Structure 1
Amino acid sequence: MFSAAVFIDRMVRHILTAFCAIFLFLMVAFTVYSVVMRYVFLNPPVWGDLLTVLSNIWLVFLALALTVRDRDHIALDLVYTWLPTKAAFAVQQFWSLVIFGLGLIMIIYGIEAVQTMGGKYWEMWYFAWEDGGFVFKPNYMPKKYAIAIVPISGFLVSIAALASIIEDTVKLKAGTYKQAGDLDEHIAQ
């Protein structure tokens, strides 16, 4: 059971890392394309800057979940090294619980924002699932698609925080727990 959870954890990390790499590539590609079209061909696309920004937003929110899981978020690593192991554990668990709560807030208010978001990006057409297939919709992309990453990221952040809490608790009980500042070898796993 535990090995299956570790396998799933690693697969999720690899998938999120791949998505982050794709969004980073898309940001660069959209920016280069827009600049070349603007200054070389004097015909910039109206959608270039928007897709760059949307790729950036999705990249940052997905990377947030990776950061939480790898414990690379802002932490007082120096303070943790000065604290006794159990005190450092308690402080790290507290912050993991705070981050878990932040993830829940992102889920709740993110879903609300997606449901109530009005307006459309006039420069973006989109595809929709209708009658068992994708259909091209030329009436512009709803803005709720751009912020749909907030509840998705909230879910991923909450799961990452819970996984960190469980992992740290298991390691403390086994006597292999290391403070946040000592987690560089954790990432190499």
Structure 2
Amino acid sequence: MISVIQFIDRAVKKTLTAFCATLLVMMVAFTVYSVVMRYVFKNPPIWGDLLTVLSNIWLVFFALALTVRDKDHIALDLIYNWLPRQVAFCVQQFWTAVIFCLGLVMIIWGLEAVATMGGKYWEMWHFTWEDGGIVFKPNYMPKKYAIAIVPISGFLVCVAAIASIIEDSLRLRKGTYRQSKDVD
């Protein structure tokens, strides 16, 4: 059972890392294309900067879930080293629980923001399914697509925090617990 959970954990981490890498490449590509079109051809696409921003937003929120799981977020490593192992464990678990609560806030209010997004459209094209086919919609992408990452990331942060707490608790019980900076 534990090997299955570890397999899923590694698969999710690799998938999120691949998404982040793809979004980073897309940001660079959109930026280079926009700059070339703006300064060489004097015809910049309106969607270039918008897709760069959208890719950046989604990259940051996916990376947040990765940092929570890997315990790469801002930590109190110096204080952990001065504290007894049990106390350091409790402090680290407290901060992981706080991050879990942040994930819940992202889910709850993120879903509300997606459902009630003010300002209906972003200045970018998109495709939609109408009358049994795909239809191109110029300059009418709903803003909720841009912020849909907030509840998704909130869910991933909650799962990562729970996995981190369970993993650390099992390691403490076995006697193999190490502070976050010591984890590979």
Post-superposition shift, 1:131?
6.3
The equivalent of 1:48 in structure 2 is 48
Q: If the length of structure 2 is used for normalisation, what is the TM-score?
A: 0.95
Give deviations 1:145-168, integer Å, cap 9, x for gaps.
000000000000000000000000
Q: Read off the aligned partner of 2:158 and give its amino acid letter.
A: S
Post-superposition shift, 1:132?
6.7
Q: Does 1:161 align with 2:161?
A: yes
CA distance in 1, matches of 2:116, 2:140: 17
CA distance in 1, matches of 2:31, 2:15: 24
The equivalent of 1:120 in structure 2 is 121
User: Once the two structures are aligned, what percentage of the paired residues are identical?
Assistant: 73
Q: Read off the aligned partner of 2:28 and give its amino acid letter.
A: V
Q: Does 1:75 align with 2:72?
A: no
What is the SS of the residue equivalent to 2:44?
coil
Post-superposition shift, 1:180?
1.2
CA distance in 1, matches of 2:164, 2:129: 36
Q: Read off the aligned partner of 1:75 and give its amino acid letter.
A: A
Q: Read off the aligned partner of 1:121 and give its amino acid letter.
A: W
Q: Is the 8 A contact 1:23 1:59 kept in 2?
A: yes
Q: Read off the aligned partner of 1:142 and give its amino acid letter.
A: P
Count of aligned residue pairs for this structure pair? 183
Post-superposition shift, 1:181?
1.8
CA distance in 2, matches of 1:93, 1:15: 26
- Provide the alpha-carbon RMSD of the alignment: 1.3
CA distance in 2, matches of 1:65, 1:143: 23
What is the SS of the residue equivalent to 1:74?
coil
Give deviations 1:114-154, integer Å, cap 9, x for gaps.
000032013x1112345676443346100010000000000
Q: Read off the aligned partner of 2:122 and give its amino acid letter.
A: Y
What is the SS of the residue equivalent to 2:46?
coil
Return closer, same or farther for 1:53/1:87 CA change in 2, 3 Å cut-off.
same
CA distance in 2, matches of 1:97, 1:106: 14
Residue correspondence of structure 1 range 129-168 to structure 2 within 5 A: 129-130=129-130, 134-138=134-138, 140-168=140-168
Segment drifting more, 128-137 vs 40-49? 128-137
CA distance in 2, matches of 1:44, 1:156: 36
The equivalent of 1:28 in structure 2 is 28
The equivalent of 2:174 in structure 1 is 174
Q: If the length of structure 1 is used for normalisation, what is the TM-score?
A: 0.93
Q: Read off the aligned partner of 2:117 and give its amino acid letter.
A: M
Return closer, same or farther for 1:174/1:31 CA change in 2, 3 Å cut-off.
same
Post-superposition shift, 1:76?
0.8
Segment drifting more, 130-139 vs 111-120? 130-139
